[in-house]
Amino acid sequence: MQQWQRQKKASPKSQLKVTFLGEAGVDTGALRKEFLTEMLSEIERKLFVCNGDGKGKNPVYCLNSLDQKYFRIAGEIMSVSLAHGGPPPSFLREWCFQYLCSGDADHLQVCTSDVLDMEMSLLIAKVNDATEDSITDLTDEIINCGYTGVVSLEKKDRIVRAIVLHYTMRVLPMLDQLRKGLQLYDLLVLMEKYPDICLPLFVPVHSDDRVNSTFIMENCKTLFSEKGSVRRRQECG
């Protein structure tokens, strides 16, 4: 990630050429794919977290990574990998992909299984298992999640929902920064316009039919300006 930052004098849109230190050879594509594969693997390992259910990962809540703009770099690397024939970053949870496409938090569909923070998952379990007497013992933890209503068994569903939203809202800045990186090559525009086609590139799918960049380009219809216009000549030039 730091090496990528140091190379910012060259545009990320330039042709990616890779040379491994101590290894001879000209990059004809294989080294580039190897590099991008390793980079995405490290991004997945260090910046995202899962619970082992195979349904994808959420961003790690890490303000240091946010401050260092690592999530923006991650988005740029994802864009470069897709544009240069590397592997897709197909390790995100579906709600994360939905947010990346829209940038709209109002219509996110997030449930308790999407909460991958150990502490908050444990709090949800405690609330669900609580009795009328024991739920009051969780008051401080519940209030710290932004819930301001009455703490009682009758409000259990609202309490759990508040915990889920608290977890979701605090990782949105990481996804916002990731969106900025995905603007490279106008990838974000394609995601917003063709979410169903792009989804398998970012979310784990249990199928042999993997979507790649070639499939996307073949299924994206280009809308040109009127024939004979100056704008049409510019678009085709």
* pLDDT tens-digit map of 104-150: 999 899 999 999 999 999 999 999 999 999 999 999 999 999 999 99
For residues 210-228, give the mean pLDDT: 58
Q: Helix 94-102 and helix 156-181: axis angle, to 10°?
A: 60
Tens digits of residue pLDDT in 49-64: 998 899 999 999 999 9
- Which residues of the chain are in CATH 3.90.1750.10 domains? 2-103+173-214
Structural contact between residues 193 and 83, judged by C-beta atoms closer than 8 angstroms: no
Rounded CA separation 25/42 (Å): 24
pLDDT at 6: 57
pLDDT at 205: 84
**Per-residue tokens: 88:** 């897709």
Confidence of residue 68 (pLDDT cuts 50, 70, 90): very high
pLDDT at 84: 85
pLDDT at 128: 96
Tens digits of residue pLDDT in 17-61: 655 555 555 555 577 788 889 999 999 999 999 988 999 999 999
Three-class secondary structure of residue 71 per DSSP = helix
**Per-residue tokens: 135:** 């739920």
Residue 237 has pLDDT above 80, yes or no: no
What mean pLDDT is reported for the chain? 85
pLDDT at 208: 47
Q: Which fold has domain 2-103+173-214?
A: Hect, E3 ligase catalytic domain fold (3.90.1750)
Which helix (H) or strand (E) segment holds residue 72: the answer is: helix 70-83
Residue 172 has pLDDT above 90, yes or no: yes
Structural contact between residues 61 and 48, judged by C-beta atoms closer than 8 angstroms: no
Q: What is the DSSP letter of 92?
A: B
Confidence of residue 85 (pLDDT cuts 50, 70, 90): confident
Residue 192 has pLDDT above 90, yes or no: yes
Q: Which of 62-71, 73-82, 227-236 is predicted least confidently?
A: 227-236
* Number of helical H runs and strand E runs in the chain: 12, 2
**Per-residue tokens: 80:** 């470069």
pLDDT at 70: 95
Give the distance from CA 198 to its chain's centroid. Answer: 12
Structural contact between residues 216 and 108, judged by C-beta atoms closer than 8 angstroms: no
For residues 215-235, give the mean pLDDT: 62
pLDDT at 81: 92
pLDDT above 70 covers a percentage of the chain that reads: 74
- What sign does the CA torsion over 36, 39, 40, 41 have? positive
Biggest CA pair distance of the chain: 77
Contacts of 108 (CB under 8 A, 6+ apart): 95, 98, 99, 168
pLDDT at 16: 63
